[in-house]
């Protein structure tokens, strides 16, 4: 599973960062997940929670912070992608929300900028 290997990579980094900072334990881990990464946040969370069971990060709270792209138009308009996650009354909160979005100013198709990152934003450790 895609998310499992990503979770392993994140957890390897968490452990090595914590150890190099002489951590006794880890309180929380905040992971930024871009909305355009094709990562399923629920699956990633499930894998991370499974992986913190027998290492220095045992018991750590895992926080997933979803990162929205900015929507930009060639006319100069730009706004945060989270404002474009509805189509009529329907909430579209996945990658489809950021494809073929017309600019509210000029009607041209906007492009998404950012939102492709998968990063450890912060690790709160006990020293």
Longest CA–CA span in the chain (Å) reads: 55
Of 31 and 73, which has the nearer Cβ to Zn ion?
Answer: 73
Of 2 and 108, which has the nearer Cβ to Zn ion?
Answer: 108
For residue 33, the minimal CB distance to Zn ion (Å) is: 28
Where are the alpha helices (H) located in 1-127, listed in sequence order?
2-20, 41-51
CB atoms within 10 A of CB 65: 12
How many residues in total does the chain contain?
127
Residues 16-45: x where in contact with Zn ion by CB under 5 A, - otherwise, as a string? ------------------------------
Q: Is 77 in the site for Zn ion (CB under 5 A)?
A: yes
Of 103, 97, 93, the residue nearest 72 (C-alpha) = 103
Q: Give the interface with Zn ion as residue ranges (CB under 5 A).
A: 73, 75, 77, 103, 105-106, 108
């Amino acid at each position: 599973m895609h998310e499992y290997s990503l979770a392993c990579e994140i957890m390897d980094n968490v452990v090595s960062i914590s150890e190099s900072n002489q951590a006794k334990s880890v309180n929380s881990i905040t992971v930024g997940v871009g909305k355009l990464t094709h990562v399923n946040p629920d699956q990633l969370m499930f894998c991370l929670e499974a992986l913190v069971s027998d290492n220095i990060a045992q018991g750590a709270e895992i926080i997933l912070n979803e990162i929205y792209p900015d929507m930009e138009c060639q006319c100069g308009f730009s706004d945060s992608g989270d404002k474009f996650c509805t189509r009529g009354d329907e909430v579209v909160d996945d990658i489809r929300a950021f494809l073929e979005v017309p600019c509210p100013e000029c009607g041209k198709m906007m492009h998404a900028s950012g939102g492709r990152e998968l990063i450890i934003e912060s690790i709160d450790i006990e020293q």
